Structure 1
Amino acid sequence: MSHAAPRPCSHPGCGVLVRDGSGRCPKHPKKAWAKPVNETKRITGRRLQAMRSDLFSRKPLCEECERLGRVTLATVRDHRIPLAEGGPDDTTNEQALCEPCHAVKTKAESARGVRRSWAGYREP
């Protein structure tokens, strides 16, 4: 019976060889995934479409571009405080953005999420 070659533990900074195929040494077990408790439920369907229509009729231009002195048509309904970070899914937390501005904001939010998730891996 053949076995896979030993590989280093996938925990950052750990070099212990793992032979069981799990990818983690006994000192660094992988945490079970759980949905965040404070995450807000998303609005979907016709209610969402009505909210988008209302937002774009009130604010047809990208708010970030306007702040920078540019004029660009808004195409994305965005949450100022991301739902994953506890922001509400209502009109108090929405803004109209263009695709490029939304992509920049999403990339920054994603990087924050990655930093948050890796923060638990620091050795004491």
Structure 2
Amino acid sequence: MPRNPKRPCAYPGCPNLTDGQYCEQHRKYARQQYDRYERSPHTASKYGRAWHRIRARYVASHPLCEQCLKEGRITPVEEVHHIVPISRGGTHAEGNLMSLCQSCHNKIHHDLGDR
């Protein structure tokens, strides 16, 4: 299957071409700017280094979207969803996690009305 042509980096004045939004040189800087100015300051306390390790372990043991599997489709996992959100007293325990593709994750949050 042919790939899409590369696009210019979205960073102002950068001439590099990339497959994503930013080139390798500016991707880290753009992420830092997002985390600093647009992301909630409480996010870092909820989703720190420990969460990334828990998420990686869960994805390794559940590599496919659980919702799609119920419907007979095979889709790789993109998100790890908390069944009971952290903001409502949920934990990072394995029983409270669900591996989902981006589409199913968006569908769940849309149905909950929180995004």
* TM-score normalised by L of structure 1: 0.51
Q: Give the aligned CA root-mean-square deviation in angstroms.
A: 2.2
What is the aligned counterpart of 2:80 among 54, 72, 77?
Answer: 77
State the structure with more CA Rg.
1
Is the 1:61–1:96 contact (alpha carbons within 8 Å) kept by the matching residues of 2? yes
Which structure is richer in relative contact order (CA contacts within 8 A, separation 6 or more)?
A: 1
Q: Stretches of 4+ moved more than 3 A in 1?
A: none
Q: What's the CA shift for 1:82?
A: 2.3
Instruction: Check conservation: 1:43, 1:89, Cα contact below 8 A.
Output: no
Matched length = 72
Partner of 1:55: 58
2:46 aligned counterpart, secondary structure: coil
* Residue segments in structure 2 that go unaligned for 5+ positions in a row: 1-44
Question: Contact 2:81–2:100 (CA<8 Å) still a contact in 1?
Answer: yes
Matched, 1:64 2:67: yes
What's the counterpart of residue 33 of structure 1?
none
1:50-104 Cα shifts (integer Å, max 9, x gaps):
1111011000000000011100000101011223333223222001000000000
Using the TM superposition, give the Cα deviation of residue 45 of structure 1 relative to its aligned residue in structure 2, in angstroms.
2.0
| Higher helix residue share | 2
Q: Which residue of 2 aligns with 1:87?
A: 90
- The percentage of aligned residue pairs carrying the same residue is 28
